[in-house]
Chain A
Amino acid sequence: MDGQVAIREVQKNYGSFKALDGVSLDIEPGEFVTLLGPSGSGKTTLLNVLAGFTRPDSGSVKMDGVEFLTLPPHKRDLGMVFQSYALFPHMSVLKNVGYPLKLRKVAKGEIDRRARAALDVVKMGHLADRDIGALSGGQRQRVALARAMVFEPKILLMDEPLSALDKNLREHMQIELKRLHDQLGTTTVYVTHDQREALTMSDRIAVINNGTLVQYDTPSRLYDHPVNRFVAEFIGESGFLPVEVREGRLTLFGEPVVSRDPWRGDTRAWMLVRPEKLAWREPEGPANRVDATVCEAIYQGDSFLLDLVLPDGGTIDVRCNPHTANIAIPSSGDKISFWISRDNTVLVEGEA
């Protein structure tokens, strides 16, 4: 299958600011890869480099083994969906979708046929003759998608395409986009700052921060085995407990830490606290125990958010469902303990 992308050492500086600092990334044919990061991390710059809108200082992008970076945007043959959709207001829906075919000198009747077919795929066939102004946000999204794929590009690029939609529609479109990707099998590069969206849709996620690639992994490995505190913090709900490292021995509030993976770092480590991976009653087998005082218990409908004071005086917010945890509803001043079993213990490095 076509559509294999090899990104190598892409560097882009704006003055002394490094927007992209030597990013390398491999994307397999047909893969759905998400570039995930906070705003200003360089993820959009990287997408623009792929699309040809930003010219990096150096680097290489090869598609199926052919250098791609030095081609102008219109010779790259890739479909792009913008955050603002960027549908042409002076053309009808059908004209918009037919535009890339017209540029490729496809015969008139063929343009119509293929444009309508593409609109059918995104369930917009019945609105082909509408004006762009008459469409809702979700409909525009579908038209933009149809326009990006009508000419069967080898890669689809999407720049936060769902961020302008409201929450319900966004979740619906996520599933639909994923189904469409399974159906078409086009290599897709997707940019978002929404970690849940990334987890939902991607085969692999590239976490980007400060212009560098922090971790490139499947959603489950990113969630369960983040390489550092940044990734752990960015993906999923998380809290951190300080772990002392002295001559290879790890301690948490004075108690030795039990964990499966050996720790290679030498300074300070953080124990990752995920609400669904801790126990509020002592589990069987080895576990790390934490004693804390409830400072405040905030009711949030399906659960409580506990603001806990740790033995060292620090604080941590932990979500707790008293019913599934099988404990009394906590109130301010209560002493409370929780355990993280050895298998669930994840240690990460990084700045606080």
Chain B
Amino acid sequence: MLNTPVTETQITHANRLWLYAVVTLVTIFLVVPCILVVPMSFSASEYLEFPPSELSLRWYRAFLGSPEWLGALWTSIKVAVPVTFIATALGTAAAWGLHRRFGLLFTLSRSLYMLPMLVPLILIAVGVFFVYARLGINGTIGGLIAAHTMLALPFVLIAVGNGLTSFDMNQHQVSRSLGASEFVAFFTVTLPQIRISVLSGAVFAFVTSFDEVVVALYISSGKNETLTRRMFSNIRDQVDPTVAAISSLLVSVVIIGMVLFLLLRKEEA
């Protein structure tokens, strides 16, 4: 099963059975919780059970028929989409600005961009809540967009930065020497070639915002409550199978996304 030519004379598969067993168990541990919610969400009973004794779409109807749940979903989308665009633009600009630049100013800037990933979320949440309260913008979409964009920046910076590292800077230079200004060269030569990295940065930004719980818990409320916040309070206070239906939908989106990615990768290879 393992592809290590040197050891096939020394180690047999039988020697490695324990490794295969451990990896299989951990893999099951990783995957099962993500998938099991799907069959459970089709249960007809008031309580969650597996396997479901009777199948129904009851909890999907409960989700789709609830203006509160749909409103929360809509809020999450209204926040995550602008965050995706703004964070991708700002993060890409910063990645280009920092690429192959050294010196105190650039090092400081790089560290600043990593902070949102390193400072504990609860602290950011509490601090932003405090400042937003002074400004009177708690519970607004704009406030949430600003906070989530900030949280997404390091991920975009890392994704685009990786893309730039493997990008051949001669491409940019040759374009300059052929008559393109810095701006034109970036948009006609550099950006088209790092588009996959920019796209993955954008996906990270979207997911960062859409899945974010802690900050949303503090600064989103009322009619501008996000889906994650509503799910959080729902799970904490009562185990309501509606959450299983929503979770199944979210897992399905992830699985579809991953399948598409694998197919795309196969196509390119």
Chains A and B directly touch (beta carbon < 8 Å): yes
Scan residues 148-192 of chain B and give those whose CB is less than 8 A from a CB of chain A.
Answer: 168, 170-171, 173-182, 184-185, 188-189, 192
Of the candidates A51, A77, A82, the one whose C-beta lies within 8 Å of that of B179 is A77
Contact call B192/A74, Cβ cutoff below 8 A: no
Q: What is the bound-complex CA distance between A78 and B178, given in angstroms? A: 7
Q: Which of B178, B182, B188, B192 has the most CB of A within 10 A?
A: B178
Q: Is B247 an interface residue (CB 8 A)?
A: no
Q: Is B221 an interface residue (CB 8 A)?
A: no
Scan residues 76-102 of chain A and give those whose CB is less than 8 A from a CB of chain B.
Answer: 76-80, 82, 84, 86, 88-90, 99-100
Scan residues 123-152 of chain A and give those whose CB is less than 8 A from a CB of chain B.
Answer: 147-148, 151
Contact call A103/B180, Cβ cutoff below 8 A: yes
Contact call A104/B173, Cβ cutoff below 8 A: no
Contact call A86/B168, Cβ cutoff below 8 A: yes
Q: Is A263 an interface residue (CB 8 A)?
A: no
Given A88-B189, A89-B193, A103-B184, CB of A74 within 8 Å of CB of B174: no
Q: What is the bound-complex CA distance between A90 and B182, given in angstroms? A: 19
Q: What is the bound-complex CA distance between A62 and B73, given in angstroms? A: 64
Given A100-B179, A104-B179, CB of A80 within 8 Å of CB of B193: no
In the complex formed, the residue of A with least CB distance to B195 is A90
Of the candidates B170, B178, B182, the one whose C-beta lies within 8 Å of that of A103 is B178
Q: Is A73 an interface residue (CB 8 A)?
A: yes
User: Within the complex, what minimum Cβ distance (angstroms) separates B207 from chain A?
Assistant: 27
User: Within the complex, what minimum Cβ distance (angstroms) separates B191 from chain A?
Assistant: 10
Contact call B180/A84, Cβ cutoff below 8 A: no
User: Within the complex, what minimum Cβ distance (angstroms) separates B56 from chain A?
Assistant: 51
Chain B residues in 8 Å Cβ range of A100: 178-179
Of the candidates A72, A79, A84, A89, the one whose C-beta lies within 8 Å of that of B178 is A79
Contact call A86/B193, Cβ cutoff below 8 A: no
In the complex formed, the residue of A with least CB distance to B171 is A86
User: Within the complex, what minimum Cβ distance (angstroms) separates A68 from chain B?
Assistant: 13
In the complex formed, the residue of B with least CB distance to A90 is B192
Chain B residues in 8 Å Cβ range of A99: 175, 178, 188
Q: Which of B176, B182, B189, B192 has the most CB of A within 10 A?
A: B176
Chain A residues in 8 Å Cβ range of B193: 88-90
Chain B residues in 8 Å Cβ range of A80: 173-174, 177-178
Contact call A82/B178, Cβ cutoff below 8 A: no
Contact call B168/A78, Cβ cutoff below 8 A: no
Chain A residues in 8 Å Cβ range of B168: 84, 86
User: Within the complex, what minimum Cβ distance (angstroms) separates A224 from chain B?
Assistant: 36
Q: Is A52 an interface residue (CB 8 A)?
A: yes
User: Within the complex, what minimum Cβ distance (angstroms) separates A344 from chain B?
Assistant: 45
Given A88-B189, A90-B193, CB of A74 within 8 Å of CB of B180: yes
Of the candidates B174, B179, B192, the one whose C-beta lies within 8 Å of that of A86 is B174
Contact call A74/B177, Cβ cutoff below 8 A: yes
Q: What is the bound-complex CA distance between A51 and B180, given in angstroms? A: 13
Contact call A52/B176, Cβ cutoff below 8 A: yes
Scan residues 11-40 of chain A and give those whose CB is less than 8 A from a CB of chain B.
Answer: none
Scan residues 100-133 of chain A and give those whose CB is less than 8 A from a CB of chain B.
Answer: 100, 103-104
Chain A residues in 8 Å Cβ range of B170: 82, 84, 86
Contact call A53/B173, Cβ cutoff below 8 A: yes
Given A84-B168, A86-B168, A103-B184, CB of A52 within 8 Å of CB of B178: no
Chain A residues in 8 Å Cβ range of B184: 74, 103
Given A86-B171, A89-B193, A90-B193, CB of A147 within 8 Å of CB of B178: yes
Of the candidates A74, A84, A157, the one whose C-beta lies within 8 Å of that of B176 is A74
Q: Which of A76, A80, A147 has the most CB of B within 10 A?
A: A80
Scan residues 255-272 of chain A and give those whose CB is less than 8 A from a CB of chain B.
Answer: none
Contact call B179/A151, Cβ cutoff below 8 A: yes
Contact call B173/A74, Cβ cutoff below 8 A: no
Q: What is the bound-complex CA distance between A78 and B192, given in angstroms? A: 24
Given A86-B168, A88-B171, CB of A52 within 8 Å of CB of B177: yes
In the complex formed, the residue of A with least CB distance to B174 is A86
User: Within the complex, what minimum Cβ distance (angstroms) separates B258 from chain A?
Assistant: 26
Contact call A51/B177, Cβ cutoff below 8 A: yes
Chain B residues in 8 Å Cβ range of A53: 173, 176-177
In the complex formed, the residue of B with least CB distance to A88 is B189
In the complex formed, the residue of B with least CB distance to A159 is B170
Chain B residues in 8 Å Cβ range of A52: 176-177
Q: What is the bound-complex CA distance between A151 and B179, given in angstroms? A: 10
Chain A residues in 8 Å Cβ range of B188: 99
User: Within the complex, what minimum Cβ distance (angstroms) separates A92 from chain B?
Assistant: 13
Q: Which of B174, B176, B188 has the most CB of A within 10 A?
A: B174
User: Within the complex, what minimum Cβ distance (angstroms) separates B187 from chain A?
Assistant: 12
In the complex formed, the residue of B with least CB distance to A83 is B170
Contact call B176/A73, Cβ cutoff below 8 A: yes
Chain B residues in 8 Å Cβ range of A79: 177-178
Chain A residues in 8 Å Cβ range of B171: 86, 88
Given A88-B189, A90-B193, A103-B184, CB of A82 within 8 Å of CB of B176: no
26 contacts between A and B (CB under 8 A): A52-B176, A53-B173, A73-B173, A73-B176, A73-B177, A74-B179, A74-B180, A76-B177, A77-B179, A78-B177, A80-B177, A80-B178, A82-B173, A82-B174, A86-B170, A86-B171, A88-B175, A88-B193, A89-B193, A99-B178, A100-B178, A103-B178, A103-B179, A104-B179, A148-B178, A151-B179
Top 7 nearest A-B pairs (CB, nearest first) are A100-B178, A73-B176, A86-B170, A103-B179, A86-B174, A80-B177, A90-B192
Apart from A74-B177, A80-B178, A99-B175, what are 7 other A-B pairs with CB-CB below 8 Å?
A52-B176, A53-B177, A72-B181, A73-B176, A79-B177, A103-B178, A104-B179
